[in-house]
């Protein structure tokens, strides 16, 4: 099948939820890039405008997800130990669900750090660049982050659809599907793309208005 | 063009990106992507590992939980009590507050198990006080960065768990083996600290008072209890290291929530000097309310959101290196060195160099399976080698250009990265001295182990 045909299969069959071997193959083909690269850009811009329209979401969406997933993960492990010591024993899923929650927390936390610009980096040279040099490297960062999002969204989506088509359940549970957790990761990267656009537009606004472009990021300083 | 030439060019290109200030996560990721193209490794592998690293490993969960423990003991006031105790014991020496911050790092490490959490907590707590107390801000930040290195040597330790899991060694033995070397690292850094502060005349001296030491020890009882709880649970096998971290999180939340109203009733606050507090009030820490928990967790999530993705891409990097045959090349090079000491010191040099450019987890994941069997073949005890390896990996936290603790200390104190290097390099000398001592004296790692 042609790339465009596969791309059409991916879009239509994913929306309808009718995933079979043909769809999994379409995801494995180059057509996935044709679908998910534009989706990352459009999704990122949509998130950017959503955040502008609803500032509460901009401040709290990722924050709420990471806080609750962190608390839930700790609670499951803590209560698992308490159950083992004082009750009849801990449920089998108490060791298999927390890693999936950790995965969600890690990638939404990653997106949050993109906005705060707290990802580890060696900023010493760029702070000494001219303004033109600084806006160039900041724009380069944005391009690299966007490409990162595109690659991860495409390749992770293939994993999600594979998990869906194989009916993978979370170990220790009867009917909890793994893809329920995995599907949140492409969403996290679309939010991340939105953060990248936010930073990029902010940088260019700062550049045009002669405001400082690079500030020292402080971990925990803006939470 | 030959693959090796292409990979060299790719490595140079990502080094340029690194120097331009591109986040390290992206630098490693693009190295992985570009090398995958060169060696025809499917890119899907990268996406799969972004998920699998997390959902296949219960042990890795210890990391976010130990980080959260760090923030909870900080917010509840337990960390402050531990540092008060350290200051009461060391404040009579020149540079006492700085030495106390290293001592507090050691005590904190015995609860938290994470180098970055140790640096972040002690750095954010004691850096302002040290600057206020007349210490150079670069020295103060470098002290937090260096002190954090013991976070992964003094048990419990995330990296020992990973090492034991990889090399099929008992984790409890590894924890016991880390106690003396970790303590020596603390002492070594304290000596450096004392020398630097004596030369520069930094810090105010306080009188050594038995009453003050006793009072602050009482004040730190919850910290000592948490340390005891973690160590007892792990050593007796009552719970796994991840569960130990979960139990400590639960303990800290309960203590924090109960202490807050009790502390309010007693009418003391964190700023009241130790000398003005009653002994009874020392039993209770400041605590926090339910409403404080989200802001504590967000801070932990921020640090986890930096480190966890980095681990994910590092694991993929290790896979790419394996596919390129790096393991065989390194293995044959080290083996060609010959006997016990040449192999040992070559391995140490490799860990040191790798620690300069990689985080400790990838260093361990990539090099331990290669170097440990070679070391064992020339007669190095596996537990002893694990300690040598991991002390070297911990030193990597303050070796530029990629010294994670330097970044974290820079992040939490606001002191630029480059400005830390002057004083962190002095700490590096003392840590290397301890490292060599541990390598030459197996008993330092093996002495506390039972039945050997």
Of A147-161, B233-247, B363-377, minimum mean pLDDT range: B233-247
Query: Token pair of B357, please?
Result: 């450019």
> A104: closest CA among A148, A65, A60, A71?
A65
Please check the confidence at residue B426 and state whether its pLDDT lies above 70. Answer: yes
pLDDT in tens, B280-327: 777 888 889 999 999 889 988 888 888 888 888 878 887 888 888 877
Kindly list the residues from chain A whose CB atom is less than 8 angstroms away from the CB atom of residue B119.
Answer: none
Cβ–Cβ contacts within 10 Å for residue A99, how many?
22
Of A77, A109, A155, the CB nearest to B246: A77
Residue B401, preceding bond cis, omega within 30 degrees? yes
Boundaries of domain holding A174: 3-208
Domain assignment present for residue A156? The answer is yes
Separation CA B39–CA B41 (nearest Å): 6
Query: Token pair of A116, please?
Result: 């705060």
Please check the confidence at residue B70 and state whether its pLDDT lies above 70. Answer: yes
> B104: closest CA among B171, B57, B150?
B150
**How many angstroms separate the CA of residue B171 from the nearest CA in chain A?**
19
Going by pLDDT thresholds of 50, 70 and 90, the confidence category of residue B67 is confident
Count of structural domains within chain A: 1
Q: Which ranges in B78-170 belong to alpha helices (H)? A: 78-90, 96-112, 115-132, 137-147, 158-167
Domain assignment present for residue A221? The answer is no
Kindly list the residues from chain A whose CB atom is less than 8 angstroms away from the CB atom of residue B299.
Answer: 219-220, 223
B378-410: b (≥16 Cβ within 10 Å) or e: bebbebbbbbbbbbbbbbbbbbbebbbbbbbbb
pLDDT in tens, A171-213: 888 889 999 999 999 999 999 999 999 999 999 999 999 898 8
Which pLDDT belongs to residue A54? 95
Separation CA B205–CA B289 (nearest Å): 36
- Which residue of chain B has the CA closest to A28? B44
Query: Token pair of A150, please?
Result: 């595109």
Domain assignment present for residue A216? The answer is no
Cβ–Cβ contacts within 10 Å for residue A188, how many?
24
Cα-atom radius of gyration of chain B, to the nearest Å?
22
Distances (CA, A) of B374 to B327, B344, B440: 12, 9, 17
Phi, psi of A169, deg, nearest 5: -105, 160
Cβ–Cβ contacts within 10 Å for residue B137, how many?
16
Kindly list the residues from chain A whose CB atom is less than 8 angstroms away from the CB atom of residue B30.
Answer: 144
Going by pLDDT thresholds of 50, 70 and 90, the confidence category of residue B441 is very high
Which pLDDT belongs to residue B451? 64
> If you average pLDDT over each of A190-204, B115-129, B321-335, B371-385, which comes out highest?
A190-204
Query: Token pair of B169, please?
Result: 């060694």
Going by pLDDT thresholds of 50, 70 and 90, the confidence category of residue A223 is very low
Separation CA A113–CA B306 (nearest Å): 7
Of B43, B301, B411, the CB nearest to A109: B301
Going by pLDDT thresholds of 50, 70 and 90, the confidence category of residue B412 is confident
When comparing pLDDT for A87 and A109, which is higher?
A: A109
Domain assignment present for residue A217? The answer is no
> A34: closest CA among A148, A154, A158?
A154
Domain assignment present for residue A11? The answer is yes
> If you average pLDDT over each of A14-18, B263-267, B268-272, B439-443, which comes out highest?
B439-443
Separation CA B13–CA B30 (nearest Å): 10
Q: How many residues does chain A have?
A: 223
Separation CA B359–CA B362 (nearest Å): 6
% of chain B at pLDDT higher than 90 = 27
Domain assignment present for residue A131? The answer is yes
Q: Are A188 and B50 in contact (CB under 8 A)?
A: no
Query: Token pair of B48, please?
Result: 């799969």
Q: Are B304 and A105 in contact (CB under 8 A)?
A: yes
Query: Token pair of A37, please?
Result: 């690269």
Contact partners, residue B82, CB within 8 Å, separation at least 6:
B73, B104, B107, B108, B220, B223
Helix (H, G, I), strand (E, B) or coil at A169: strand
Phi, psi of B165, deg, nearest 5: -65, -45
Of A23-27, B168-172, B181-185, B395-399, minimum mean pLDDT range: B168-172
A63 in B contact zone (CB under 8 Å): yes
- Give chain B's mean pLDDT: 86
**How many angstroms separate the CA of residue A123 from the nearest CA in chain B?**
5
The mean per-residue pLDDT over the stretch A51-79 comes to: 93
pLDDT in tens, B202-214: 877 888 888 888 9
Kindly list the residues from chain A whose CB atom is less than 8 angstroms away from the CB atom of residue B297.
Answer: 66-67, 70-71
B300-331: b (≥16 Cβ within 10 Å) or e: bbbbbbbbbbbbbbbbbbbbbbeebeebeebe
Which pLDDT belongs to residue A222? 45
Give this complex's ipTM: 0.94
Which pLDDT belongs to residue A144? 96
Q: Taking CA B232 as the corner, what is the angle to CA B230 and CA B234, rounded to the nearest 5 degrees?
A: 70
Domain assignment present for residue A37? The answer is yes
pTM of the model: 0.86
Residue B13, preceding bond cis, omega within 30 degrees? no
| Per-window interface: A 125-154 vs B, CB < 8 A | 125-127, 137, 140-141, 144-145, 148, 151-152, 154
Q: State whether A159 and B44 contact (CB < 8 Å).
A: yes
The two most distant CA atoms of chain A are separated, in Å, by 66
Of B20, B309, B414, the CB nearest to A110: B309
Cβ–Cβ contacts within 10 Å for residue B358, how many?
24
Distances (CA, A) of A182 to A10, A97, B45, B178, B379: 18, 12, 15, 37, 46
Which pLDDT belongs to residue A218? 63
Of B19, B43, B294, the CB nearest to A155: B43
- Which residue of chain A has the CA closest to B63? A102
Kindly list the residues from chain B whose CB atom is less than 8 angstroms away from the CB atom of residue A95.
Answer: 58
| Per-window interface: A 20-39 vs B, CB < 8 A | 28
User: A33, A64, A122: which to substitute to probe chain B, counting the most B Cβ within 10 Å?
Assistant: A122
Kindly list the residues from chain A whose CB atom is less than 8 angstroms away from the CB atom of residue B418.
Answer: 124
Q: State whether A141 and B22 contact (CB < 8 Å).
A: yes
- Give the residue carrying structure tokens 């531990």: B82
Contact partners, residue B297, CB within 8 Å, separation at least 6:
A66, A67, A70, A71, B68, B71
Contact partners, residue B373, CB within 8 Å, separation at least 6:
none
**How many angstroms separate the CA of residue A186 from the nearest CA in chain B?**
10
Q: State whether A121 and B295 contact (CB < 8 Å).
A: no
Which pLDDT belongs to residue A220? 57
Separation CA B273–CA B376 (nearest Å): 53
Of A99, A123, A144, the CB nearest to B57: A99
Give me the torsion for CA of B58, B62, B68, B72, rounded to 10°: 120
Domain assignment present for residue A219? The answer is no
């Amino acid at each position: 099948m042609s790339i465009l045909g596969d791309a059409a299969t991916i879009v239509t069959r994913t929306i309808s939820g009718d995933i079979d071997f043909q769809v999994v193959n379409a995801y494995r083909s180059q057509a996935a890039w044709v679908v998910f690269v534009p989706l990352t850009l459009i999704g990122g811009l949509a998130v950017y405008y959503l955040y502008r329209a609803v500032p509460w979401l901009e401040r709290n969406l990722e924050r709420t997800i990471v806080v609750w997933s962190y608390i839930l993960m700790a609670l499951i492990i803590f209560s698992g130990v308490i159950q083992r010591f004082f009750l009849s024993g801990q449920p089998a899923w108490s060791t298999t669900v927390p890693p999936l929650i950790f995965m969600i927390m890690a990638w939404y936390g990653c997106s949050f750090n993109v906005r705060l610009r707290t990802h580890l980096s060696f900023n010493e040279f760029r702070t000494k660049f001219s303004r033109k040099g600084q806006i160039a490297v900041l724009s380069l960062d944005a391009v690299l982050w966007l490409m990162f999002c595109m690659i991860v969204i495409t390749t992770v989506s293939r994993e999600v659809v594979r998990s869906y088509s194989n009916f993978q359940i979370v170990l220790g549970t009867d009917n909890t599907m793994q893809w329920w957790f995995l599907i949140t990761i492409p969403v996290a990267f679309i939010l991340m793309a939105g953060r990248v656009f936010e930073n990029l537009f902010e940088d260019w606004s700062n550049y045009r208005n002669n405001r400082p472009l690079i500030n020292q990021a402080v971990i925990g300083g803006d939470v | 063009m030959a693959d090796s030439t292409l990979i060299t060019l790719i490595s140079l290109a990502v080094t340029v990106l690194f120097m331009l200030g591109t986040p390290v996560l992206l630098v490693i990721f693009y190295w992985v992507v570009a090398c995958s193209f060169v060696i025809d490794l499917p890119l899907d592998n990268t996406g799969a590992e972004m998920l699998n690293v997390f959902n296949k490993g219960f042990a890795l969960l210890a990391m976010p939980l130990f980080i959260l423990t760090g923030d909870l003991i900080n917010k509840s006031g337990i960390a402050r009590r531990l540092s008060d105790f350290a200051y009461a014991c060391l404040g009579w020496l020149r540079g006492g507050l700085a030495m106390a911050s290293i001592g507090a790092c050691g005590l904190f490490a015995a609860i938290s198990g994470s180098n970055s959490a140790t640096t972040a907590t002690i750095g954010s707590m004691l850096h302002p006080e040290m600057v206020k107390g007349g210490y150079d801000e670069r020295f103060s930040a470098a002290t937090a960065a260096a002190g954090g290195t013991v976070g992964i040597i003094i048990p419990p330790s995330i990296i020992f768990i990973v090492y034991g899991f990889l090399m099929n060694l008992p984790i409890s033995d590894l924890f016991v083996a880390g106690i003396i070397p970790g303590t020596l690292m603390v002492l070594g850094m304290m000596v450096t600290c004392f020398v630097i502060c004596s030369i520069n005349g930094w810090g105010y001296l306080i009188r050594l008072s038995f009453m003050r030491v006793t009072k602050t020890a009482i004040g730190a009882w919850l910290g000592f209890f948490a340390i005891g709880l973690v160590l007892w649970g792990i050593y007796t096998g009552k719970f796994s290291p991840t569960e130990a971290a979960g139990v400590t999180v639960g303990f800290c939340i309960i203590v924090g929530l109960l202490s807050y109203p009790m502390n309010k009733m007693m009418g003391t606050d964190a700023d009241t000097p130790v000398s003005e507090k009653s002994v009874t009030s020392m039993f209770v820490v400041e605590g926090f309310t339910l409403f404080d928990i989200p802001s504590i967790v967000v801070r932990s999530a921020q640090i986890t959101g930096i480190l966890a993705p980095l681990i994910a891409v590092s694991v993929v990097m290790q896979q790419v290196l394996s596919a390129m045959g790096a393991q065989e090349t390194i293995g044959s090079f080290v083996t060609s060195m010959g006997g016990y000491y040449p192999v040992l010191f070559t391995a140490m040099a490799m860990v040191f160099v790798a620690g300069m450019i990689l985080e400790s987890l990838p260093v361990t994941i990539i090099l331990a399976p290669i170097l440990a069997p070679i070391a064992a073949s020339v007669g190095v005890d596996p537990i002893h080698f694990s300690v040598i390896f991991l002390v070297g990996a911990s030193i990597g936290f303050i070796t530029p250009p990629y010294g994670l603790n330097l970044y974290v200390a820079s992040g939490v104190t606001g002191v630029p990265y480059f400005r830390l290097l002057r004083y962190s390099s002095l700490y590096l000398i003392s840590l290397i001295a301890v490292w060599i001592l541990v390598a030459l004296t197996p008993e330092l790692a093996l002495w506390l182990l039972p039945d050997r």
